[in-house]
Amino acid sequence: MTTIAASDFRQQLAELGNRVGYGGERITVTRSGKPLFAVVPYEDAELLEALEERMDLDLGRQALRRYDTVAWAQAKKELGL
């Protein structure tokens, strides 16, 4: 992954955009030598979103499995219905 200072990034935005968009390059932008953000191809961002959605679904399924299910008849009885 290429690393570039934020000040240089601003000056080279068009060129770096082409390198990312057409060349698939990933760029880390730094400020004071510390990573600030990354510029990645759109396909990488889509993959990240898909992975995050999958993780959310998995966590949701795990949460649902933690709770015991109650039969409808038993629930009605406990609620006095």
Distance in angstroms (rounded) separating the CA atoms of residues 68 and 31: 50
Domain residue spans in the chain? 1-40, 41-81
- Retrieve residue 30's tokens: 């730094």
Q: Is domain 1-40 annotated with CATH 3.30.70? A: no
pLDDT at 59 over 80: yes
pLDDT in tens, 63-77: 777 776 767 788 788
pTM for the whole structure: 0.69
Q: Give the type of residue at 1.
A: M
How does pLDDT run across 6-38, given as a tens digit for each residue?
A: 999 999 999 999 999 999 999 999 999 999 999
Between the alpha carbon of residue 61 and those of residues 47, 56, 57, the distances in Å are 21, 9, 6
Q: What is the predicted pLDDT for the residue at 68?
A: 65
